[in-house]
Structures are given as structure tokens and as C-alpha cells.
Amino acid sequence: MLATKKKIKSKKTYKFGIKIDEMIQAGVHLGHHTSKLHPKMAENILGIRNTTHIINLEKTAYFLEKALEFIEECAKQKKKILFVGTKIPLRETVKRIAKECNCPFVTERWLGGTLTNFEVISKRVKYYQQLREKKEKGEFDHYTKKERLKIEKELENLREKFEGLEKLEELPDIVFICDIIKDKLALKEAKKKNIKVIAIVDTNADPTLVDFPIPANDDATTSVNYILEKVKQVIENTKVKSQNSKEK
């Protein structure tokens, strides 16, 4: 039972098709165990159910709307968003959304210096691209089996480090982080480079560290997918509107 008389229900209409009942179905409201509450998330809590904090989805809807408004404006200006989600259950969802939005991403692990040592990382990404292109063209076919295996091993190692960064030719304008505790280094580097951060913030994290925090469950794939699908819709709709305005 909820340790409150309030219910997760709202008659308010939000932009971008945000709906409280859909967020409930996606499990967006399910936080962590009460013992893990970060004090600065307390104002975003509706109550408690079976020792689990329940996030106030009216707050989630409000903050998600603000984040999407910011993304919409950035999309109009063709600013680059870097998606970060290295938690294993979320990797495929983050990768799919990023690819559909034609945006760079990090899903394996955050490599230290990705933002703060960008020039060096960029050179390694280009090397990875060149090596991959050579393989696709069959330039390694005349190598010995041992040499090819060595190259394959190097390629796999480079893929794990740099896949998703090929489109990042310069520092991103925004970093979208799915879990600021798991990917705290990404958050730290973005802040150091004064890059705006949008992030899903669960009940165990500090929302004040983020420019555009979205109070929500950052563990469930359904929850993260709901939020990322909204982000994708905004980016795609903005591109269509921009294209239509050019054709007129």
C-alpha cells in the first residue's frame, strides 16, 4: 500500500503526448528501496509501497516536458546529442534509439577522457573506422590466419571502446545519461566541459547535479524506453517540420 492518501493520477494535459497512465504501465514511477533514498529526491516522492519509494509522476511529467522542450529547441538548431547508457539491460534500447535519431552513443563502457581528452579519443575513433573499412574492402584477405585473428581481436576491442562515437566529430552540445550513478564519469566530464546534461534520475541519485533531471525509474527497460521514445519523437518531428518549411 502507498504510505499516503494521494493517488498517481492527473487531469493535467502535457505536451509531447506525455500521459500519466502510460508512465504507470511502463513502471516509470517505481523507485528504489526506501533505505537508498537520496535526500534531494525527497520532493519528487509520492509515497511508499512495500518498502519501495513511488515517484510522483506529475513531477516526472513536468520535468520530462521541460527536457523535451529543450531537446526540441536544440534539434531546431541541429545541435548534437550524445546518448549514454552502459547498464547491461538498457544497452540495446539506448543503441537503437540513438541510431534511429542518427546520434552518437556510448553503451559498452564510458572511456575516461571521452569528453575531456576529446582530440586523442577522436584519433582512436578514426583509426577504428579505417581498420573496419579495410576489413570490409577485403584488404586483410591475403594476410595469414594468425594475422587476421590478431586484427579481428583488435577490431573487437576497438568496437567495445568506440562503437557509437563515429558520428561525434566534435564535442556534443548535450549529453543524455540514463543512469547518473552508473555513468557518473560521463556526468563529471560533461560538467567539466560545460556541456548541458539531461538525465533520468532515480530515487537514489542527486537531481541537482543535472541541468534537466527527469525523476524516473532508471532500471526498468520499459521505463527508459518510454522516455527515450519521447526524445526520439521530438527529434524526428522537429526534423520533419524543418524539412517541410524548406520545401515551402
48-88 pLDDT, tens digit each:
999 999 999 999 999 999 999 999 999 999 999 999 999 99
Compute CA distances 18 → 32, 60, 159, 230, whole Å.
23, 10, 36, 8
User: What confidence tens digit (pLDDT) does each residue in 97-114 have?
Assistant: 999 999 999 999 999 999
pLDDT in tens, 146-178: 999 999 999 999 999 999 999 899 999 999 999
Residues ≥6 apart with Cβ < 8 Å to 3: 47, 48, 49
Domains in the chain: boundaries? 15-115+171-242, 118-162
Once rounded to an integer, what is the mean pLDDT over residues 205-210? 98
Q: Write out the three cell numbers for 140.
A: 586483410
pTM to 2 decimals? 0.92
Percent of the chain with pLDDT over 70: 94
Instruction: Kindly write down the DSSP assignment for every residue of the chain, as one continuous string.
Output: -BSSS--S------GGG--HHHHHHHTTTEEEEGGG--GGGGGGEEEEETTEEEE-HHHHHHHHHHHHHHHHHHHHTT--EEEE--SGGGHHHHHHHHHHTT--EE-S-PPTTTTTTHHHHHHHHHHHHHHHHHHHTTTTTTS-HHHHHHHHHHHHHHHHHHTT-TT-SS--SEEEES-TTTTHHHHHHHHHTT-EEEEEE-TTS-GGGSSEEEES-SS-HHHHHHHHHHHHHHHHHHHHHHHHHHH-
82 forms beta bridges with 175
Query: In which band, very low, low, confident or very high, does the pLDDT at 8 lie, cut at 50, 70 and 90?
Result: very low
8 A C-beta contact, residue 29 and residue 60: yes
* Average pLDDT taken over every residue of the chain: 93
Query: Given this model, what pLDDT does residue 11 score?
Result: 52
Model confidence at 183: pLDDT above 50 = yes
For residue 5, pLDDT over 80 is answered with no
pLDDT above 70: residue 9: no
Segment 136-144 mean pLDDT: 91
pLDDT in tens, 15-35: 999 999 999 999 999 999 999
Fold of 15-115+171-242: Rossmann fold (3.40.50)
Q: Which of 3, 183, 18 is nearest to 91 (CA)?
A: 183
